[in-house]
Structure 1
Amino acid sequence: MSTLLAFDFGEARIGVAVGSTELGIPHPVCTIAAVDNDTRFARITALIAEWQPQQLVVGMPLSLDGEPTAMSKLARKFGQRLYGRFNLPVDYVDERLSSAAASNALDETGVRGRKQKTALDQVAAMQILQGWFDGAIMAAPPD
Structure 2
Amino acid sequence: MSCVLGFDVGSRLTGVAIGNRLTATARALTTVPVHDDRPDWARLDTLRREWQPDILVVGLPLTLEGAEQPASRRARDFGARLQQRYRLPVIFVDERHSSQEAARRFAAGRAAGLRRRRDAASIDAEAAAVILEHWLAEAAVPADNQSPD
TM-score range, shorter chain: 0.7 to 0.9
- What is the deviation of 1:131? 1.0
Secondary structure in 2 matching 1:50: helix
Where do 5+ consecutive residues of structure 2 fail to align? 140-149
- Most deviating of 108-117 and 47-56: 108-117
1:84-141 Cα shifts (integer Å, max 9, x gaps): 00000000110011101100111111268954522100100000000111217xxxxx
Find the residue that maps to 1:82 and give its secondary structure.
Answer: helix
Alpha carbons 1:103, 1:116 under 8 Å: kept: no
Matched position secondary structure for 1:135: helix
- Report what 1:65 is aligned to: 65
In structure 2, distance between residues paired with 1:92 and 1:77? 11
Q: Deviations over 1:13-68 (max 9, x none)?
A: 00000011111110111011231466611111110000000000000000011000
Give SS of 2:125's match.
helix
- Spell out the pairing of 1:78-89 with structure 2 (5 A cutoff): 78-89=78-89
Q: How far, CA to CA, are the matches of 1:128 and 1:93 in structure 2?
A: 7
Match of 2:134 in 1: 131
Query: Is 2:100 the counterpart of 1:100?
Result: yes
Using the TM superposition, name which of 34-43 and 102-111 deviates more: 34-43
Matching of residues 12-51 of structure 1 within 5 Å: 12-36=12-36, 40-51=40-51
CA gap 1:101/1:116 in 2 versus in 1, 3 angstroms: farther
Whichever of the two has the greater Rg, that structure is: 2
Q: Is the 8 A contact 2:110 2:116 kept in 1?
A: no
In terms of fraction of residues, the more strand-rich structure is: 2
Q: Secondary structure at the match of 1:80?
A: helix
**One-letter amino acid of the structure 1 residue matched with residue 28 of structure 2:** P
Quote the sequence identity (%): 40
One-letter code aligned to 1:46: T
1:141 maps to which residue? none
Please state whether the residue corresponding to 1:100 is helix, strand or coil. helix
Amino acid at match of 2:65: D
Pick closer, same or farther for the CA change 1:42–1:66 going to 2, 3 Å.
same
The equivalent residue for 1:76 is: 76
Instruction: Give the number of aligned pairs.
Output: 136
